Structures are given as C-alpha cells and as structure tokens.
Copies of this chain bind each other. A is one copy, B any other.
Amino acid sequence: MQDSQTSETTQKTIEETIVSGILSAKIRPGTRLSENQLAALFGVSRTRVREAMMRLETRGIVHVSPRRGWFVIEPSAEDAIAVYEARRVIEAGLLRSMCALTDEGRSALDAHLNEEKRALASGNRQRLTYLMGDFHIRIAELSGNAIIVDILRDLTARTILISMLYQSEFHAAQSHDGHCRIFEAMQAGDFVRAAELSVEHLDEVEMGLDLTTRPDPLSELRSSLSLPPKTVASGPTVRPKKPLLQRSN
C-alpha cells in the first residue's frame, strides 16, 4: 500500500508523479491533493509534500486555496487562450529557428508518429492524450535546449488540463494528421512551413475547445451578482477580443 522509497529517489518523485499523471490525463483538473494523503502515500512527512506543491505551484500546475487545500488548476477560458497563445509563440519560434533535422531526430519523430498511429487504432484515449502532448515536447527536445523543453512540458500539462475541461470531442485523428504534416515539412527542411503548420495545428485544437462551457457552474450567477471570481479559475468565460497577437500568419 505504501511506496516508501528510500528517500533519495523520493526527492523529486512526488512532483514528477503528479506531472506525469496529468500528462497522461489520469489526474483531472480540480483534483484535490491532500498533503496528508500524499505524505502517507509516499511515506514521507508533510514537509516534503509541501515542497513539491510549492514547486508545482510556481510551475503553474497546482494552486493552493488558503487553509482549504491544494488543487490541480482548473484553467479559465482566459487561461486557456493564454496557454495556446504562448505555445504558438514558442513552438513557432522554435521551429523557425531550426535549420536541420538529424538522423536521430528524424527517427525519433518517426517512431513517435507510429506510436500515435497505433494508439489511434487501439483507441486508448489516455495514451492518445499523452502522445498528442508528447509530440510537441519531442520537437522541443530536438533543439537540445533544456530550458525550452521544460517550458513546453509545463505548458503541455496545462494544455491537457484545458482539454479535459473544455474539449467536448477528441479529434485525435485530426491532431495526428497535423503532427504528420509538421513532420513532413521538417523532413523537407522547410522549417518556416513547419512553424506555420504548427500555428495552424494549435489553432485547430484551440478552436475545437468549447470555451463557453463553464467549469464552475456557478460562475454565471457569480458574475451577474458581481462577486469576485473563484480564485482558482473562471471569471467571465466569453472569449475576449484578441489583443495584439495574431492567430496565424
């Protein structure tokens, strides 16, 4: 029942366990993460659980409601838009700055796309979710830049939380096609095209969200009474006017 690792490995395990739980869609947004329960689960004291929570909080994955508990974030519609915007900026910037695809890179992506195809055939939704997000992390890994990889991993985690909240139907096949097109452009050495395709792909996925669905069923009432929005998320949920950034080019 207990894990009770030998405390060298437990160091970062709590943090990574939760992140990978999110990346594979096993942990839903809003999940409460009790310090006591996690402490018991990992066989450590609350202290170390709290440290992991603090780290996850600065990574934008978890949120604390004072004296109530830690919760996996429930991104608001605005948050969702900001995350997709940030991903477009970074991923397009990344692809545009690439200038070659090594053999190992090519075969890594190829293997990944084959896995996507297999998961698509088998219909394993959790695995599909994981793979769909992981594709973008793999691209970041091609750059060899650990900073960008870390950033995109956290943004991907948030993306998955977003889709669990707002994605009514899962257009996995469409996403897979998008990934294949990006890969083809990269193989052809046309990284500008790959960047454009990446923006289009993220646009497609974002457009597939129903951002009028309210994760907080009380938010309409709340805002009509002009109460403060839930600290964790929500607020007005209509898609606001896009400010300075353009969607595609």
The interface of chain A, by Cβ under 8 A from chain B, is 50-51, 54-55, 57-60, 82-83, 85-86, 88-94, 96-102, 105, 142-148, 151, 155, 243-246, 249
Q: How far is the CA of A60 from the CA of B100 in the complex (A)?
A: 29
* B contact residues around A97 at 8 Å (CB): 85, 88-89, 92, 245-246, 249
Shortest Cβ distance from residue A109 to the other chain B in the assembled complex, whole angstroms: 13
Say whether, besides A89-B93, A94-B93, A244 and B151 are in contact (CB < 8 Å): no
Q: How far is the CA of A89 from the CA of B152 in the complex (A)?
A: 13
Whether A98 lies near B145 (C-beta < 8 A) is no
Majority-rule SS of A interface residues: helix
Say whether, besides A54-B54, A102-B244, A155-B147, A92 and B88 are in contact (CB < 8 Å): no
Whether B143 lies near A244 (C-beta < 8 A) is yes
Minimal Cβ-Cβ distance residue in B for A240: B144
Whether B98 lies near A244 (C-beta < 8 A) is yes
Q: How far is the CA of A142 from the CA of B55 in the complex (A)?
A: 28
Shortest Cβ distance from residue A84 to the other chain B in the assembled complex, whole angstroms: 10
Cβ-neighbour of A147 out of B83, B146, B249 (below 8 A): B83
Whether A89 lies near B94 (C-beta < 8 A) is yes
Whether A89 lies near B90 (C-beta < 8 A) is yes
Say whether, besides A54-B54, A54-B55, A147-B86, A244 and B96 are in contact (CB < 8 Å): no
Whether A90 lies near B92 (C-beta < 8 A) is no
Shortest Cβ distance from residue A240 to the other chain B in the assembled complex, whole angstroms: 10
Shortest Cβ distance from residue A226 to the other chain B in the assembled complex, whole angstroms: 23
Shortest Cβ distance from residue A55 to the other chain B in the assembled complex, whole angstroms: 5
Cβ-neighbour of A245 out of B88, B99, B243 (below 8 A): B99
Whether A99 lies near B55 (C-beta < 8 A) is no
Shortest Cβ distance from residue A168 to the other chain B in the assembled complex, whole angstroms: 25
* B contact residues around A91 at 8 Å (CB): 93
Shortest Cβ distance from residue A191 to the other chain B in the assembled complex, whole angstroms: 9
Cβ-neighbour of A82 out of B60, B99, B146 (below 8 A): B146
